[in-house]
Amino acid sequence: MADPAIVTRPGGGLRPRRAAAGRRTLTAYLFLAPFLVIFAVFVVFPAVYGLWISLHVWNPLLDDHPFVGLQNFFDLFTPGSLTFEDFWESMGATGIFVVASVPFLLAIPLGIAVLLNRKIKGGSVFRGIFFAPYVLGVAVVSVLWRYLLDPQLGVVNAVLGLLGLPSDIPWTVDVPWAWISLVGITVWWTLGLNTVILLAGLKGINPDLYEAASLDGAGAWRKFTSVTLPGLRPVMTFVVTVTLLASANMFGQSFLITQGGPGTATRTAIMYIANQGLVQNQMGAATAMSYLLFAFLAVVSVLNFRLQRDNTK
Amino acid sequence: MKNPTLRAAAAVAILGLGVSLAACSGGSTSASSDSVRADAEYSGPAVDITFWNGWTGGAAPVLVPKLVAEFNETHPDINVKSNAMEWADISQKMPLAIKAGKGPDVAVAHGDDVATYAAQGLLLKTDDVVDALGYKESDFPEGLMAAGQFDGDQYGVPWSVTPLGLYINKDVLAKAGLDPETVPTDAESYLAALEALKAAGIQGEWADGYVFTGTFEFESLLWQFGGDLFNEDVTEATFNSEAGVKALTWMTDLIKNGYSPANVAQDGNINALIGSETAFNWNGVWQTTNEALQSVSWTAVPVPQIGTEKAVWSSSTHWMFPANKNQDPDKSAAAATFVKWMNDNSADWASTGELPAQNTVREDPGLLETYPALAPFLEQLEYAHYETVAPGITNAMAEVTTGVNEAMLGKKSPKEALDDAAEKATQLLKQNKAQYGG
Amino acid sequence: MSTVTTPTVTAPAPATAATAPAAPARTRKRRRRAPNLLTYAVLFLISFIIVVPLLWMLLTSFKTDFDAISSPASPWPNPFTTEAYGTLATGNLPILRWFANSVIAATAQTAIILVTASAAAYALARLEFRGKKIVFGAIVATLLVPGVVFLIPNYLIVDSFGWLDSLWAIIVPGSAGAFGVFFLRQFFISLPNEIEEAARVDGAGDFRIFWQIILPLSRPALATLAVLSFLTNWNDFIWPIYVLLSPENLTLQPGLSVLQGTYSTHFGIVMAGAVIASVPVLILFTLAQKQIVESVASSGVKG
């Protein structure tokens, strides 16, 4: 896929070419330099520094950071250690959220995109409305829904009561309701993003393919599975990957709406890691956990990538 | 090096090394002394000082700026800037801020934080300030001065105490056919009232598993049943003792017996009291200044004695002087002057719903005349329990809340929830001891 | 620092890629399914679900605290009051300052990203140089690394620069994301070589070509990257929460968290704060809606 720009230079001779290559390299690094400097300081170096920290008991408020080798990592696999139970519970929470949210974050926007792809009036108005919550930001969205879903004081339960349904559902207080709330709120917040991207992908599918399918006698569903979905594949890959990672990194909603509760049941891995490192001051343990999470996500991403690749064959 | 890649890598390495060295060595303060200078009157150069506190609710956000403005006017050399933020935010951000040199020059925090911050090297010693103020241990409720100590040195100056109390919505009692002046004082009378309310279709006390009401109620009951949170030298959690199980069971029974709904949300109980949906709420003295509460007919009384002893939870707040990186001693001295002035002018502090810690201020009859609602809270101070003092104690206390929360939500039996929490807490106490000593 | 690492995954470019298909010889009636009532009904329903909560937020901001607690089922303030806004105006939570901070930070970071990523992407797409594979490999490798891995080390690094509690910490660290470079590189590669070669024959140097030819041709991609970067920084929550300390230095997202913590169940006030945080954003969005949405739309397709 890389298309190296092959530049033909007039004149020959070994010397000028090597000098040119050297100049070329210098120029290239000049272009790269601004990015590379920031990249080195805030991406490459922290990645290594984090590993270094994970090999110590590192309390930033104390001067002594004793080296403990892989102990922080071992603790994560040792039942009964300080971090074992909490870490795996938080990983479980992240897992639950990812599994519960990603299907909805894909299916609902896809459905909406299909609808918007039809010849309708005001399509761009709808698009704008659907996209608006994302622009508002995670805090506005979370703060609003924390109120609407308050079990005693929020309108959702009040309306349910008026309809004769149970009006004391603990939306923000107990599981599994808290999960339903978190997934629902996340969908509400971000459906516009995926919808818009998928819609563009839909528009890129050649309409002739649909006509051909019609002529073959295909019904709506058949057209969807044999024309739409395959045509969306590359865009879908992008959207799936981005959505997976975003869900695995969920922090704001849990922080603002359930505070990780009840107890610590909706405390995601990211919340726990940030808390361990920056509030409990156990940076060694926290960085070790972050690397473990990275390993998990890497495996998931590779699997996802493979699956998409295989499906294209 | 001709090879640009290697050159780039070398640059990164050098940069990285420099950064890591800086980060590693960031601990030492270069303050000339680690005590706060307490001049009779501030005589240094003009300074700006920052003041962090957690007074974001009730009357405090109005009173504090007023006091600060008055101080600034009468002290032209000192300009105090007050930053109010949630208590939880302060404990989350202040330690690292101080280490980075971006913390405040004076702050107020709770009793269970002082030893922790002192052990983390974040505070300046206040022995001189305490002397200048003329304070002795006996000037404060028992144990309060000691709460601000670590390793034999004084780091805090007591400021206020905030016990729990029983808030009653008299309208609701009347609705249930009870005498609105009913004051339950023990388990029998309390349960009788709850039963009567239940017969009238009212859930009398909404019990929850959140820290500001549920945990504090649990602790009060734990002490009432003769138990304690931790052992003497704070190496082991003891809140899962029989007393603890009795205490937590009493609370979960409220739900079981229909006196409380299940799954009460945070602040659900005080809001229900305000909305006249419930009659009783165990809450802190700070609620006396809740504006919304004033729209109902309410009163507050000492918490009923459910157990075998009289006991009630109380917190305390203390002044402290952060030892920021490169802390300017003049700023700390100015802060000490500010604290001294605040203490001398604290007569109105009761209007914020906190009880002044200083015995003489509190016991002044004028106080009760102006703030009669505080009487029941003052009564309880005799047998109030304050926070446990040990560095790092707050993370162990967080386990108590987790345990209470799990039991109140019906996820675990009270015994199981407390046992699990106590096991965790004990492990944390060990970790604290290892890291902080003391 | 972005909470979302947004990688693009290279997949075989489909025959029906987004590059506008060449206009067919004969006019073609685009026969999309004719919309029916059900389609409109569903779209209206979803719009309803999105708009109503926002309206509720607005109406609640005009309720008294007592009203907000005691009559949750009714949207209409009774009485109608602006006391919530009054409390916020005299309180010490500088919501508008938070908004300004967010705008400054997001704009600055977007600017840095556009400049650095485009230059770097140009080098990687168009120039041959030693170490190219290593550099590109290193950048790609970081695409899948979750932000939390960098959270704690970057905290220490930012602290050592003295950037804690300042907007620098919000602007600089997140501006070195691999996504921008990757995305623009893809785009640059897709540009035809001829114009560039012609310019070289004319004697133009790399910088001239970059500045006067490549960049102007890349406007849509740059716009996309700009919008995505801005929104990512705007929505960033976990990093500012830990890195910003004083109330006046907060950006909007952690600021609202503080607002909620401060006023807890004083929902009238909390909603008023949320409204103040939303109105400017919604105004800007409405004005630039078409461009924003279309820019975002093309991100997935170009990827």
CATH number at residue C158: 1.10.3720.10
Q: What is the pLDDT of residue C163?
A: 93
Q: For residues C234 and C121, state if they share a domain.
A: yes
Task: Kindly report which listed range (B72-81, B230-239, C69-78, C215-224) carries the lowest average pLDDT score.
Answer: C69-78
Q: What's the rounded Cα separation, in Å, for the pair B428 and B396?
A: 6
* ipTM here: 0.84
Q: Residue holding tokens 């051909």?
A: A212
| Domain around C52 | 35-81
DSSP, collapsed to helix, strand or coil, labels residue A267 as coil
Judged by CB atoms closer than 8 Å, whether chains meet at B120 and A61 is answered as yes
Q: What are phi and psi of C251, to 5 degrees?
A: -95, 180
A62 closest CB neighbour out of B409, B411, B435:
B435
C88 lies in some domain: no
Question: H-helix or E-strand containing C24?
Answer: none
Q: For residues C187 and C254, state if they share a domain.
A: yes
End of a domain among C46, C81, C116? C81
Q: For residues C135 and C253, state if they share a domain.
A: yes
Q: For residues C98 and C77, state if they share a domain.
A: no
DSSP, collapsed to helix, strand or coil, labels residue C75 as coil
Q: For residues C186 and C58, state if they share a domain.
A: no
* Secondary-structure percent of chain B, ordered helix, strand, coil, rounded to 5: 50, 15, 35
pLDDT band at C2 (very low <50, low <70, confident <90, very high): very low
Judged by CB atoms closer than 8 Å, whether chains meet at C135 and A36 is answered as yes
C chain contacts of residue A155, beta-carbon cutoff 8 Å: 56, 72-73, 75
Judged by CB atoms closer than 8 Å, whether chains meet at A139 and C277 is answered as yes
CATH, domain range B163-314+389-436: 3.40.190.10
**How is chain B split into domains, by residue range?**
47-162+315-385, 163-314+389-436
Q: For residues C138 and C171, state if they share a domain.
A: yes
Q: What's the rounded Cα separation, in Å, for the pair C6 and C29?
A: 37
Q: What is the pLDDT of residue A174?
A: 87
Write the DSSP assignment of C265-285 as a string of letters: T-HHHHHHHHHHHHHHHHHHH
B265 closest CB neighbour out of A45, A173, A281:
A173
A24 lies in some domain: no
| Inter-chain CB pairs, A–C, below 8 Å | 372
Q: Is the pTM value of this prediction over 0.90?
A: no
Q: For residues C61 and C130, state if they share a domain.
A: no
Q: What's the rounded Cα separation, in Å, for the pair B231 and B229?
A: 7
The total number of structural domains that make up chain C = 2
The sign of the torsion formed by the CA atoms of C4, C10, C11, C15 equals positive
Same fold yes or no, B47-162+315-385 and B163-314+389-436: yes
A61 lies in some domain: no
Superfamily, domain B47-162+315-385? Periplasmic binding protein-like II (3.40.190.10)
- The answer to whether the beta carbons of residues C68 and C268 sit under 8 Å apart is yes
- The answer to whether the beta carbons of residues C146 and A248 sit under 8 Å apart is yes
Q: What mean pLDDT is predicted for residues B222-229? A: 95
DSSP, collapsed to helix, strand or coil, labels residue B167 as strand
In angstroms, the Cα distances linking B245 to B208, B222, B410 are 16, 8, 14
What is the length of chain B? Answer: 438
Q: To the nearest 10°, the Cα dihedral for C205, C208, C212, C217?
A: 50
Chain C nearest C-alpha distance from B242 (Å): 35
| pLDDT above 50 (res B60) | yes
Chain A interface, mutation test: which of C16, C182, C283, C296, most A Cβ atoms within 10 Å? C16
Q: For residues C121 and C258, state if they share a domain.
A: yes
A66 lies in some domain: no
Task: Kindly report which listed range (B55-59, B248-252, B368-372, C236-240) carries the lowest average pLDDT score.
Answer: B55-59
C264 closest CB neighbour out of B3, B85, B267:
B267
Q: For residues C100 and C71, state if they share a domain.
A: no
The total number of structural domains that make up chain A = 1
- The answer to whether the beta carbons of residues C253 and A138 sit under 8 Å apart is yes
Neighbours of chain B (3+ CB pairs under 8 A): A, C
pLDDT band at C8 (very low <50, low <70, confident <90, very high): very low
Judged by CB atoms closer than 8 Å, whether chains meet at C148 and A239 is answered as no
A chain contacts of residue C289, beta-carbon cutoff 8 Å: 124, 128, 131
- Kindly state the percentage of chain B with pLDDT values over 70: 91
Burial A65-90 (b: 16+ CB within 10 A, else e): beebeebbbebbeeeebbbeebbbbb
B chain contacts of residue A83, beta-carbon cutoff 8 Å: none
Q: For residues C45 and C110, state if they share a domain.
A: no
A242 lies in some domain: yes
Chain C interface, mutation test: which of B17, B53, B56, B325, most C Cβ atoms within 10 Å? B56
**pLDDT tens-digit profile, chain A (313 residues):** 444 444 444 544 456 666 777 777 888 888 999 999 999 999 999 999 999 999 999 998 888 899 999 999 999 999 988 899 999 999 999 999 999 999 999 999 999 999 998 878 888 899 999 999 999 989 999 999 999 998 888 899 988 988 888 888 889 888 899 999 999 999 999 999 999 889 888 888 888 888 888 888 888 888 888 888 888 888 888 888 889 888 998 999 999 999 887 878 899 999 999 999 998 889 999 999 999 999 998 888 888 778 777 665 4
Chain B nearest C-alpha distance from C161 (Å): 8
Q: Which residues, in sequence order, are CB contacts of C142 under 8 Å at separation 6+?
A: A43, A44, A47, C5, C178
pLDDT band at B408 (very low <50, low <70, confident <90, very high): very high
Neighbours of chain A (3+ CB pairs under 8 A): B, C
Q: What's the rounded Cα separation, in Å, for the pair B110 and B54?
A: 10
Q: Which of residues 105-124 of C touch A (CB under 8 A)?
A: 112, 115-117, 119-120, 122-124
Judged by CB atoms closer than 8 Å, whether chains meet at C17 and A1 is answered as no
In angstroms, the Cα distances linking C23 to B126, C27, C28 are 82, 9, 9
CATH number at residue A281: 1.10.3720.10
pLDDT band at B6 (very low <50, low <70, confident <90, very high): very low
Q: Which residues, in sequence order, are CB contacts of A244 under 8 Å at separation 6+?
A: A98, A102, A300, A301, A304
Closest CA to A101 of A308, A303, A304, A248: A248
Q: Which amino acid is at B134?
A: G
Judged by CB atoms closer than 8 Å, whether chains meet at A31 and C189 is answered as no
| Domain around A108 | 71-312
Cis peptide bond prior to A262, omega within 30° of 0: yes
Is beta strand B78-84 parallel, antiparallel or unpaired with respect to B47-53? parallel
Q: What's the rounded Cα separation, in Å, for the pair A234 and A240?
A: 10
B271 closest CB neighbour out of A26, A153, A173:
A153
Q: What's the rounded Cα separation, in Å, for the pair B255 and A166?
A: 18
Q: Which residues, in sequence order, are CB contacts of A160 under 8 Å at separation 6+?
A: A166, A167, A169
Chain B residues whose C-beta is within 8 A of a chain A C-beta are 4, 8, 11-12, 15-16, 19-20, 24, 26-28, 92, 95-96, 99, 120-122, 209, 261-266, 268, 271-272, 395, 402, 405-406, 409, 411, 424, 427-428, 431, 435
